[in-house]
């Protein structure tokens, strides 16, 4: 066997051993943001057109004399690498190291008082969700990513509950979109920035 072939099979063997302990967990929100600005003309396209094509937005609120809609799509990818030791009872558990990131897409549409499209802007970015370590039963595959704040229930399903906030909290009621219906806010927005700094959590 040549030296090149020997190196190839060595790398192949190491790859099989390495990836045999890997797990990839993917989660994606229900919305798919598919917005082509060329299909809609500001001042002419109505929100009925957008609603028929895109479906209901994740959030909507008042913006000046018109409205603003927010669509979000979030896909979380988590990569786990586990190590299991073949020694007595220790072989029943595995050591897991996980890293995760979120691919995010946000579409913001604004409409004038006549329900005509004013602007449509789509943004795409990645969020680093960090890394974590854990000890798990070797038959269990469980997510370690801290992404619950990105997967709250759709606002449309929590309309009634949105009028009740857990106490005690000092809220900036003039700003909270869920209370006054004005503006929109991305999921996972920290409570230590912007108007939230006037609140007490």
pLDDT single digits (tens) 12-21: 545 544 544 6
Both structure tokens of 114: 């006549």
Comparing C-alpha atoms, which of 19, 147, 17, 149 is closest to residue 80? 19
**Which residues in 38-64 are b (16+ Cβ under 10 Å) and which e?**
eebeeeebebebbeeebeebbbbbebe
User: Is the bond preceding 168 in cis, omega lying within 30 degrees of 0?
Assistant: yes
DSSP for residue 126: E
Chain centroid to Cα 59, Å, comes to 15
Strand partners, 34: none
Both structure tokens of 7: 């190196």
Q: H/E element holding 179?
A: helix 177-180
pTM score, whole prediction: 0.59
Q: What does the pLDDT profile of the chain (201 residues) look like in tens digits?
A: 566 766 665 665 455 445 446 667 777 765 677 788 888 888 889 989 998 888 888 888 888 889 999 998 888 888 887 776 666 666 667 777 888 898 899 999 999 999 999 999 999 999 888 887 777 665 656 666 666 667 666 666 666 666 666 666 666 666 677 666 677 778 777 777 766 676 665
Both structure tokens of 96: 């897991």
Q: For residue 23, what are the contacts with CB-CB under 8 A and spacing of at least 6?
A: 79, 80, 81, 82, 141
Quick: pLDDT tens for 87-102. Answer: 666 666 777 788 889 8
Cα separation, 67 vs 61, whole angstroms: 6
């Amino acid at each position: 066997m040549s030296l090149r072939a020997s190196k190839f099979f060595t790398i192949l063997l190491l790859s099989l051993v390495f990836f045999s302990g890997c797990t990839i967990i993917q989660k994606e929100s229900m919305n798919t943001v598919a917005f082509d600005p060329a299909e809609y003309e500001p001042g002419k396209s109505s929100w009925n057109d957008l609603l028929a094509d895109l479906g209901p937005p994740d959030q909507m609120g008042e913006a000046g004399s018109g409205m603003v809609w927010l669509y979000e799509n979030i896909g979380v990818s988590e990569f786990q690498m586990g190590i299991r030791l073949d020694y007595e009872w220790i072989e029943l558990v595995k050591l897991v190291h996980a890293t995760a990131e979120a691919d995010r897409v946000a579409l913001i549409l604004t409409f004038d008082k006549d329900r005509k499209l004013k602007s449509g802007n789509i943004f795409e970015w990645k969020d680093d969700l960090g890394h974590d370590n854990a000890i798990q039963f070797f038959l269990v595959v469980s997510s370690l990513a801290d992404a619950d704040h990105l997967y709250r229930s759709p606002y449309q399903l929590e309309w009634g509950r949105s009028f009740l906030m857990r106490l005690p909290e000092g809220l900036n009621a003039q700003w909270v979109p869920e209370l006054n219906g004005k503006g929109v806010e991305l999921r996972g927005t920290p409570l230590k920035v912007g108007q939230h700094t006037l609140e007490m959590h």
